[in-house]
C-alpha cells in the first residue's frame, strides 16, 4: 500500500494534513473491500454453515 508509506513519510516530515489525506484513501478502499465481502456473503447465503448474521440479512 503506497498510500500507507506516503502517510508515514508525511508524518515523518511533520505534514499531518497530507498524511490524513493518504489515510483517507486507504480507509475508502478498505470500506469498499469490506462492502464487497459482505455483499458476496449475502449472495452465497450461509457461508459454511456458520449462521453468520450478515449473510442472512436482505
Query: What's the pLDDT score for residue 42?
Result: 73
For residue 16, is it within any domain?
no
Taking the chain (58 residues) in runs of 10, the rounded mean pLDDT of each run is: 87 94 92 88 65 58
Phi-psi region of 29 (alpha: psi -120 to 50; beta: other; left: phi over 0): alpha
Task: Say how many domains are in the chain.
Answer: 1
| Helices 2-13 and 16-44: angle between axes, nearest 10 degrees | 160
For residue 45, is it within any domain?
yes
For residue 5, is it within any domain?
no
For residue 44, is it within any domain?
yes
Closest by CA position to 44, among listed 33, 52, 55: 55
Enclosing domain of residue 54 = 21-58
Query: What's the pLDDT score for residue 45?
Result: 65
Amino acid at each position: 500500500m503506497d498510500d500507507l508509506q506516503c502517510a508515514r513519510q508525511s508524518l515523518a516530515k511533520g505534514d499531518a494534513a497530507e498524511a490524513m489525506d493518504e489515510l483517507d484513501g486507504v480507509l475508502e478502499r478498505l470500506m469498499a473491500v469490506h462492502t464487497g465481502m459482505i455483499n458476496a456473503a449475502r449472495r452465497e447465503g450461509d457461508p459454511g454453515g456458520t449462521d453468520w448474521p450478515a449473510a442472512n440479512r436482505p
